[in-house]
């Protein structure tokens, strides 16, 4: 389901096992948006933002973390956006502190690239999200042969020169979303799991450990942008994890098109 909203996630319900994705085109940000960002960022986030050299990077960093904080408060309105507190696991994956996460635990993943920020929020399932533009990697074939699974390299080799850059980005976003959902960072070799495009809209994953309960969604935000979402649940949550809703923070933002799921 794709929903476009101008109001943000205010007092919304998030079913156990369901995932909500919110995205924002930061190049359309207003002065009011800048004020909102400053009002909700933590001191640590402001300090981390200040280390970034380029203005667009600082803009996207602030917008991404403000989007996450306001989105979380939309599903847990008893906590103000600025009051959310986070911790990291041994591999660096951020999570809400136990006293705020609730039951089932509220989980999230955050991503941004060149003027687009997005977050995925769920209750129960592990979740990962990634968004990328084409053209950022100068030699995608070299990256693929070094890091991708052999079967993925074979699929890329079957692409035309025009198709190759986008298919590479599609594989990359899916793999990043998977790794983010697992929360193991670079400790998991990217070649230890593989994705397979099935027909016009199908998608298959071969997990590194053969686990079941995974669901993936690959979407287009623009001709040169792909967004991937990975969710993993257990038992009933594994079945419910296939439901993902997509929401845009501005009606003037890009319209998302779901390309593949599996």
- Cis amide linkage into residue 104, ω under 30° from 0: yes
Tens-place pLDDT, residues 63-119 = 999 999 999 999 999 999 999 999 999 999 999 999 999 988 899 999 999 999 999
Q: Where is pLDDT greater, at 243 or 240?
A: 243
pLDDT of residue 236: 47
Which of 127-141, 209-223, 225-239 has the least mean pLDDT?
Answer: 225-239
Q: What is the mean pLDDT of the chain?
A: 89
pLDDT of residue 10: 53
Tens-place pLDDT, residues 197-209 = 988 889 999 999 9
The pTM (predicted TM-score) of the whole model is 0.92
């Amino acid at each position: 389901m794709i929903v476009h909203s101008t109001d943000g996630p205010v007092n919304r319900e998030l079913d156990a096992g369901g995932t909500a994705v919110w995205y924002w085109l930061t190049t359309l940000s207003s002065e009011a948006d800048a004020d909102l960002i400053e009002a909700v960022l933590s001191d640590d986030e402001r300090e981390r933002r200040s280390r970034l050299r380029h203005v667009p990077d600082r803009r996207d960093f602030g917008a991404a973390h403000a989007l996450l904080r306001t989105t979380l408060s939309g599903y847990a309105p008893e906590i103000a956006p600025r009051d959310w507190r986070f911790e990291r696991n041994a591999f660096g994956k951020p999570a809400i502190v136990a006293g705020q996460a609730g039951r089932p635990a509220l989980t999230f993943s955050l991503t941004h690239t060149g003027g687009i920020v997005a977050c995925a929020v769920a209750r129960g399932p592990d979740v990962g999200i990634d968004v990328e533009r084409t053209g950022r990697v100068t030699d995608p074939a070299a990256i693929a042969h070094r890091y991708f699974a052999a079967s993925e390299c074979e699929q890329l080799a079957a692409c035309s020169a025009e198709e190759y850059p986008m298919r590479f980005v599609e594989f990359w976003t899916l793999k990043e979303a998977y790794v983010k959902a697992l929360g193991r960072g670079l400790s998991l070799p990217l070649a230890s799991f593989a994705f397979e495009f099935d027909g016009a809209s199908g998608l298959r994953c071969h997990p590194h450990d053969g686990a079941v309960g995974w669901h993936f969604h690959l979407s287009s935000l623009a001709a040169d942008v792909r967004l991937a979402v990975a969710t993993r649940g257990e038992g009933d949550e594994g079945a419910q994890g296939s439901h993902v809703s997509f929401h845009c923070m501005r009606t003037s933002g890009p319209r998302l098109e779901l390309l593949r799921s599996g």
